[in-house]
């Protein structure tokens, strides 16, 4: 079988870094108004235009990938999450999930061994989950009646305790979007904790095997 990359793979590799830069631009355009409610209206409008521009770029990228795919319906079905994220631009916190483009960069920069690769993924996912979860929950909760997550510090603390599955309960969402974000962060947290446990176990087993080989 031919080992040459397909047209879709070539396109993805070519646009990997530009998409990462666009994702970073989207994060800035999203986070700035959330972190600074008193932002200048003109600047907020400019950031909104930037956000929509990035959304359009990701939509074009998805359409190009479908066009280049050998089996377009099958490819679109396998990448249904891209379609959902592009088709639901009004769900502002959900649009943060486009930043999963970071995972592609993490995969290429990961260490050669399995443990190193998993370690990079786990670290990247944990960091992104905390930052994005904090931004999303602050955006959803800050102006809600009875909300107790009103500052960036509150949001960051809540995200850390949630993703680590500690959950002190001193900060909690009161809105439906906020609770949906909490559920997603809980699921990610359980996966991260499980991955860390497996990573440590694998590292210990490999060290024991090395020691036994050294003795022999």
Question: For 65-86, how does the pLDDT look when each residue is reduced to its tens digit (9 = 90+)?
Answer: 889 888 888 888 888 777 776 7
The size of the chain, in residues, is 216
User: Is residue 193 classed exposed, middle or buried when 0-12, 13-18 and 19+ CB atoms within 10 A define those classes?
Assistant: middle
Contact criterion met (CB below 8 Å) for 128 and 102: yes
What pLDDT digit, counting tens, does each position of 197-214 carry? Answer: 777 777 778 777 777 777
- Tokens linked to 211: 């020691």
Phi-psi region of 36 (alpha: psi -120 to 50; beta: other; left: phi over 0): beta
Structural domains present in the chain: 1-93 (no CATH), 110-216 (1.10.287.70)
Q: How confident is the model at residue 102 (pLDDT cuts 50, 70, 90)?
A: very low
Exposure string of 68-78, with b = 16+ CB inside 10 Å and e = fewer, is: bbeeeeebeee
More confident residue, 70 or 126: 70
- Which tens digits make up the pLDDT trace of 145-165? 999 999 999 999 999 988 887
Question: Is residue 171 within 8 Å of residue 149, measured between CB atoms?
Answer: yes
Does position 128 have pLDDT exceeding 70, yes or no? Answer: yes
| Cα end-to-end distance, the chain, whole Å | 41
Alpha carbon distance 18, 60 (integer Å): 13
Query: Each residue of 29-65: pLDDT tens digit?
Result: 888 888 888 889 899 899 888 888 888 888 888 889 8
Query: Is the CB of residue 19 less than 8 Å from the CB of residue 58?
Result: yes
């Amino acid at each position: 079988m031919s080992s040459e990359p397909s047209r879709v793979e070539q396109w993805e590799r070519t646009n990997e870094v530009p998409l990462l830069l666009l994702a970073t631009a989207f994060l800035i355009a999203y986070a700035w108004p959330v972190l600074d409610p008193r932002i200048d209206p003109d600047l907020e409008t400019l950031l909104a235009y930037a956000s929509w521009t990035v959304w359009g770029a990701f939509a074009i990228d998805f359409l190009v990938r479908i066009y280049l795919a050998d089996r377009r319906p099958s490819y679109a079905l396998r990448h249904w999450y891209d379609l959902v994220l592009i088709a639901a631009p009004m769900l502002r916190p959900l649009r943060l999930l486009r930043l999963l483009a970071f995972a592609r960069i993490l995969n290429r920069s990961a260490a050669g061994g399995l443990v190193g690769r998993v370690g990079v993924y786990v670290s990247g996912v944990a960091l992104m989950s905390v930052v994005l979860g904090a931004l999303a929950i602050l955006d959803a909760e800050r102006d809600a009646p009875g909300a107790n997550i009103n500052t960036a510090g509150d949001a960051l603390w809540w995200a850390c305790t949630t993703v680590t599955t500690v959950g002190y309960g001193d900060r909690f969402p009161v809105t439906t979007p906020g609770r949906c974000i909490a559920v997603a962060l809980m699921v990610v947290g359980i996966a991260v904790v499980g991955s860390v446990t497996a990573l440590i176990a694998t590292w210990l087993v490999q060290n024991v095997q090395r020691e036994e080989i050294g003795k022999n």
